[in-house]
Chain A
Amino acid sequence: DIVVTQSPDSLAVSLGERATINCKSGQSVFSDSHKKDYLAWYQQKPGQPPKLLIYWASTRESGVPDRFSGSGSGTDFTLTISSLQPEDVAIYYCQQYSASATPSFGQGTSLEIK
């Protein structure tokens, strides 16, 4: 199984400031044949299921505000929120879908307002 580790576990950022969440995969999730990184990001608010934000490491899902962006390749990835809004308070997860049959998630990063 590919172990996925996020950092930090929690983060407090002022409104309007940048928030950065890191995700590290135990193995590269880059596909040589597809030329893509098999990594997604989700946002989960209390009492709700995770919501897809980004796939292919940097492709924003339709309807997701453009203040959310994903970057990175291979084993190291970043989710950036360029200007934190009150509605962005949530837990964020990364997930690899590279392994042959067993996708795995990071442990989550809790984002709050400073």
Chain B
Amino acid sequence: QVQLQESGPGLVKPSQTLSLTCTVSGGSISGGSYYWTWIRQSAGKGLEYIGRISTSGTTNYNPSFKSRVTISKNTSKNQFSLNVNSVTAADTAVYYCARAPVIKIFGMAHRMGWFDPWGQGTLVTVSS
């Protein structure tokens, strides 16, 4: 059974970079037809998809984050990571990592599916 666990600083100063890591156990981030994703939840914006990385390392980001977000992976550690730069108070949220299936049609990757499972989440506060 795949489990995900977020880790990283709980407090980040404005204008700095938020860095989180998701450690995956019970399965390989290099195997299967899955995307590895980041989602955040805040009082102001609710649940918000941030971006994903595929098993091959291809990334895709929510345009609303413009160019502030980078997702990468470390296959040897079975981890993937999130960096959000130039943070403001609006980036204060609970950050979740989650797995999503690759939906295929006619054998070809078509869409990203639902999110399951999720990590427990980690609260990141942006404040000086």
Given contacts A98-B111, A103-B112, A93 and B119 within 8 Å (CB-CB): no
- Tell which of A49, A95, A97, A104 touches B118, judged by Cβ atoms closer than 8 Å: A49
8 Å CB contacts to A: which residues of B43-98? Answer: 46-49, 60, 62-64, 96, 98
8 Å CB contacts to A: which residues of B101-116? Answer: 103, 105, 110-116
Which B residues touch A34, using CB under 8 A?
Answer: 103, 105, 110
Which B residues touch A55, using CB under 8 A?
Answer: 113-114
Asked if A52 is at the interface of the complex by the 8 Å CB criterion, the answer is: yes
Residues of A within 8 A of B (CB-CB), count: 26
8 Å CB contacts to B: which residues of A28-76? Answer: 31, 33-34, 38, 40, 42, 48-52, 55, 61
A interface, over-half SS: loop
Q: Which residue of B lies closest to A102 (CB)?
A: B62
Which B residues touch A49, using CB under 8 A?
Answer: 96, 98, 118-121
Residues of A at under 8 Å CB distance from B?
1, 31, 33-34, 38, 40, 42, 48-52, 55, 61, 93, 95, 97-98, 100-105, 107-108
Q: Assuming A40-B114, A100-B111, A101-B60, what are 12 further A-B pairs, CB within 8 angstroms?
A: A33-B110, A34-B105, A42-B115, A50-B47, A51-B118, A52-B116, A55-B114, A95-B47, A95-B114, A97-B100, A102-B62, A108-B47
